[in-house]
């Protein structure tokens, strides 16, 4: 066990195992959040997914309120709100209410991906298909509404966003591409790179973000975080067995087969073709699996390469007890307080 300078957080997608229920997955999210606080993790972020049989979290703002009410110290936020689906004013109001209830503890992470298939995304946007070219305008409006600081010539300048208060949610731009990094730099926002989605290009995206960063009143200096997929167990063999569940699940998702998370027994018994094994290898390239020491060393190496002092860890296992144990082992290995 070595004291680390890295700050660690949890990114929870509320996974649903085969034979489980969405309600059970949400309860497990609450249990894991309480555990994460006692272990010393600094943030607990919840995801937004729609129409996904494997994930239960469709409304991060509701989960944030529930988690923050069950905890007392840990920061709680979204990873993220898929801003393309929503009016910036409504998002600002929702998160100002959360901040009023839990001042100094709320994070508003936003993303530009749909968090769904295209048909579901269309249902979330009844006005018609969303033009991604409008996304920068939505970011600008959200920042303005949050701080009641829209430009003098903005048509909604006179709108008062309530509840007003002395503090604001901490806002993050989330993404797995250089475009998201560019938006974060342009608007002077902290940036979290989703390494668990895209294992390549993160170092360049983070470097470009820092090089092009425009200081903002709330965030005078650039800040980067890295979201990584990791499974930790007492032995590498056990960690690899646990990871096989997500590997098979990910393979099926890539084929368009949406389903809950399979068991390790199902995954290990599956008859993989050569092409499927190649796909699994690509999945393994962007995940960290092993015993505590090896996982810590790989996380620290990724953090150094990306210039990040903060890591959010995504862990998906079939067995929720194994998931909790993975975070316990990491907290001990990183000597969290």
pLDDT tens, residue by residue, 259-290: 999 999 999 999 999 999 999 998 998 999 99
Q: Is the pLDDT of residue 124 over 60?
A: yes
At 163, is the pLDDT very low, low, confident or very high (cuts 50, 70, 90)? very high
**Is 52 within 8 Å of 84 (Cβ atoms)?**
no
Domains and CATH numbers, the chain: 7-229+295-333 (3.20.20.30)
What pLDDT score does 1 carry?
Answer: 47
| pLDDT single digits (tens) 196-235 | 999 889 999 999 999 999 999 999 999 999 999 999 999 9
* Mean pLDDT lowest among 56-65, 121-130, 166-175, 323-332: 121-130
**Is 6 within 8 Å of 297 (Cβ atoms)?**
no
pTM of the model: 0.94
Beta-strand relationship, 7-12 and 43-46: parallel
What pLDDT score does 119 carry?
Answer: 73
Query: Quick one: DSSP state of residue 113?
Result: S
Place of tokens 């689906």: 85
* Nearest of 173, 178, 186 to residue 213 by alpha carbon: 186
Torsion of CA 308, 310, 311, 312, to 10 degrees: -130
How large a percentage of the chain has pLDDT more than 70? 96
Q: Is the pLDDT of residue 154 over 90?
A: yes
| pLDDT single digits (tens) 58-116 | 999 999 999 999 999 999 999 989 999 899 999 999 999 999 999 999 999 999 876 56
The rounded mean pLDDT for the chain is 94
pLDDT, mean of residues 122-137: 75
* Nearest of 323, 318, 325, 329 to residue 294 by alpha carbon: 329
What pLDDT score does 35 carry?
Answer: 98
One DSSP character per residue, 39-84 reads HT-SEEEE---SS-TTB--S-HHHHHHHHHHH-SSSEEEES-EEGG
- For CA atoms 328, 330, 335, 336, give the dihedral sign: negative
């Amino acid at each position: 066990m070595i004291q680390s300078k890295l700050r660690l957080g949890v990114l929870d997608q509320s996974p649903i195992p085969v034979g489980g229920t969405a309600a059970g997955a949400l309860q497990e999210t609450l249990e894991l959040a309480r555990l994460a606080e006692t272990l010393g993790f600094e943030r607990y972020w919840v995801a937004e997914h729609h129409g996904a049989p494997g994930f239960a979290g469709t409304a991060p703002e509701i989960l944030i309120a529930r988690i923050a009410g069950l905890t007392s110290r840990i920061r709680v936020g979204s990873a993220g709100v898929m801003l393309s689906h929503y009016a910036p004013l409504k998002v600002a109001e929702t998160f100002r209410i959360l901040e009023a209830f839990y001042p100094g503890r709320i994070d508003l992470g936003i993303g530009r991906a749909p968090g769904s298939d295209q048909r579901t995304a269309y249902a979330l946007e009844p006005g018609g298909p969303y033009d991604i070219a409008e996304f920068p305008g939505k970011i600008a409006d959200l920042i303005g509404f949050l701080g009641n600081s829209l430009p003098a010539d903005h048509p909604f300048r006179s709108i008062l966003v309530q509840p007003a208060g002395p503090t604001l949610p901490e806002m993050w731009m989330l993404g797995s591409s250089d475009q998201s990094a560019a938006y974060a730099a342009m608007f002077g926002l902290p940036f979290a790179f989703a390494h668990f989605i895209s294992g390549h290009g993160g170092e360049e995206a983070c470097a470009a973000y820092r090089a092009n960063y425009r200081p903002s009143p709330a965030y005078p200096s650039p800040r980067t975080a890295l979201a990584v997929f990791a499974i930790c167990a007492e032995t590498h063999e056990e960690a690899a067995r646990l990871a096989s569940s997500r590997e098979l699940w990910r393979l099926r998702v890539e084929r368009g087969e949406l389903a809950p998370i399979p068991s390790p027994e199902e995954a290990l018994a599956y008859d993989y073709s050569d092409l499927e094994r190649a796909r699994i290898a690509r999945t393994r390239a962007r995940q960290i699996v092993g015993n505590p020491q090896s996982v810590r060393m790989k996380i620290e190496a990724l953090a150094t390469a990306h210039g990040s002092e903060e890591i959010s860890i995504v862990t998906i296992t079939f067995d929720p007890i194994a998931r909790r144990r993975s975070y316990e082992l990491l907290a001990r290995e990183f000597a969290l307080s």
